[in-house]
Structure 1
Amino acid sequence: MVIVEFVIVPLGEKSLSRYVAEVVKLLEKKGVKYQLTPMATIIEVSTVREAFEIIEEAHELMFKLGAERVSTTVRLDDRRDKAVHMEDKVKSVLEKVRGG
């Protein structure tokens, strides 16, 4: 399982919510598990290739929506020893916070 955090910014725009909304629609259309945060979007996919294909499509979507310049940042967590999901990582931290 690959957990991916990405940020796509159409440069020069004051408000990004309409762009983010279109990326969320794309993820939902593709059936991708995602988590929207205030500063990034996190997805969970099977392979790095799948992650980059989705991010490339989202990146190109910004140009289709009228952006003239786009900056994209990607961070991957590719774990091969066992399947770990987004919520597992959060649960592990919260258990330690609560003394578990």
Structure 2
Amino acid sequence: MVIVEFAIVPLGERSLSRYVAEVVKLLERKGVKYQLTPMSTIIEVPTVGDAFEIIKEAHELMFTLGAQRVSTTIRIDDRRDRPVRMEDKVRSVMEKVHGG
């Protein structure tokens, strides 16, 4: 699995929640596992190509919703030595926090 964090910002907009809500709806329609954070969205998909396709669709959605300019930032965690899921990464840190 590939874990990808992305943030799509329609520039010049005062409130982004309606845009973010539409991206979340897109992810849910596609059955993509995601985690919404205050600053970005994280998805877990089989390949980097899958991630790029989903993010491209979400990026284009901003224009469909009326944005005139859009900035998208992407961070990719692509691990080939063993499969890692979002919750695995969080659990590993929390075990260390709590002395595990």
Match of 2:98 in 1: 98
Superposed CA offset, 1:8-66 (max 9, x none): 00000000000000000000000000000000000000000000000000000000000
Q: C-alpha distance in 1, partners of 2:59/2:81?
A: 30
Q: C-alpha distance in 1, partners of 2:46/2:78?
A: 9
Q: C-alpha distance in 2, partners of 1:24/1:86?
A: 17
> If the length of structure 2 is used for normalisation, what is the TM-score?
0.99
Q: Specify every segment of 5 or more residues in structure 1 that has no aligned partner in the other structure, as ranges.
A: none
Moved over 4 A (4+): none
Match of 2:39 in 1: 39
1:98 corresponds to which letter in structure 2? Answer: H
Match of 2:28 in 1: 28
Q: C-alpha distance in 2, partners of 1:71/1:92?
A: 32
1:19 corresponds to which letter in structure 2? Answer: Y
2:44 corresponds to which letter in structure 1? Answer: E
Q: C-alpha distance in 1, partners of 2:66/2:37?
A: 24
3-state SS of the aligned residue for 2:93? helix
Q: C-alpha distance in 2, partners of 1:46/1:72?
A: 21
> If the length of structure 1 is used for normalisation, what is the TM-score?
0.99
2:80 corresponds to which letter in structure 1? Answer: R
Identity %: 82
Q: Specify every segment of 5 or more residues in structure 2 that has no aligned partner in the other structure, as ranges.
A: none
Equivalenced residues, count: 100
Q: C-alpha distance in 1, partners of 2:65/2:34?
A: 21
